């Protein structure tokens, strides 16, 4: 939803982090930027999914104080390298200096922040195509890539050659197990989108570290349905 108060409100619940979605969500850059300190004020990390290919936007959110960025459709090693370059300061990447919001939120001195920043910012490359699965080890090996984030819906479309949308298909499950094994071997982070709280639990039991449970709109609709059901019982 295009209102920074929504992620700020959700940040006050028991979530470990809040993801602001600029790829498919209705929120624009300036609104998402305002959400970052509001999420941080609730003591939670702000994660941002940027639009496809907008790696420079990733740096701007880190400057504002976001804890991590999810980059969709990372399908080549060059995609992963470009993303990492905007996420990490030299010598790992090429991130430019200007973290005014991050300094204010962290309370760190500039020199201290510079030394710690590469370890504080989490860069997650989305794996959601056959191409990405085929080079997942290479993506994970790129310096500055901290892990992957799987989009099961797009992955199901890709793996079925466009025949179906089924993020719970057997083929997707097999791909998830494969991806997890590669992430574990690399010692990095595995994230994923879930379709429900129950599915999130299944994915956590599989070994995923970061799981998006639902969107703000889904939470709103579910809350409305629960209230109506109780009122009409």
Whole-angstrom Cα distance, residue 217 to residue 116? Answer: 35
Structure token digits, residue 1: 């939803």
Strands 46-49 and 189-193, by their bridges, are unpaired
Tell me the three state secondary structure of residue 52. coil
Whole-angstrom Cα distance, residue 155 to residue 71? Answer: 15
Exactly one of 24, 100, 209, 222 is catalytic; name it. Answer: 24
Whole-angstrom Cα distance, residue 46 to residue 31? Answer: 13
222 as an active site residue: the answer is no
Structure token digits, residue 41: 């004020």
Whole-angstrom Cα distance, residue 142 to residue 165? Answer: 30
- The answer to whether 61 and 34 have CB atoms below 8 angstroms apart is no
Whole-angstrom Cα distance, residue 113 to residue 153? Answer: 37
Tell me the three state secondary structure of residue 147. strand
Whole-angstrom Cα distance, residue 118 to residue 148? Answer: 17
Q: Which residues contact 10 (CB under 8 A, 6 or more apart)?
A: 18, 216, 219
Catalytic positions: 24
């Amino acid at each position: 939803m295009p209102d920074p108060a929504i992620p700020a409100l959700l940040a006050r619940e028991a979530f470990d982090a809040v993801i602001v979605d600029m790829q498919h969500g209705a929120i624009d850059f300036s609104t998402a930027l305002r959400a970052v300190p509001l999420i941080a004020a609730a003591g939670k990390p702000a994660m941002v999914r940027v639009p496809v290919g907008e790696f420079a936007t990733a740096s701007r959110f880190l400057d504002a104080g976001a804890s991590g960025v999810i980059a969709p459709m990372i399908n080549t090693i060059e995609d992963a390298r470009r993303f990492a370059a905007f996420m990490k300061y030299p010598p790992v990447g090429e991130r430019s200096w200007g973290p005014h919001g991050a300094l204010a939120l962290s309370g760190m001195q500039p020199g201290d922040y510079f030394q710690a920043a590469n370890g504080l910012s989490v860069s997650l490359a989305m794996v959601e195509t056959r191409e990405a699965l085929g080079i997942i080890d290479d993506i994970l090996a790129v310096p500055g890539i901290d892990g992957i984030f799987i989009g099961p819906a797009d992955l199901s479309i890709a793996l079925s050659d466009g025949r179906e949308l089924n993020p719970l298909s057997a083929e997707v499950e097999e791909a998830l197990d494969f991806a997890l094994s590669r992430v574990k071997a690399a010692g990095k982070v595995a994230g994923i989108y879930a379709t429900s709280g129950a599915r999130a639990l299944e994915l956590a039991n599989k070994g995923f570290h970061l799981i998006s449970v639902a969107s703000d709109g889904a939470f709103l609709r579910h809350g409305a349905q629960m209230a109506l059901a109780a009122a009409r019982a």
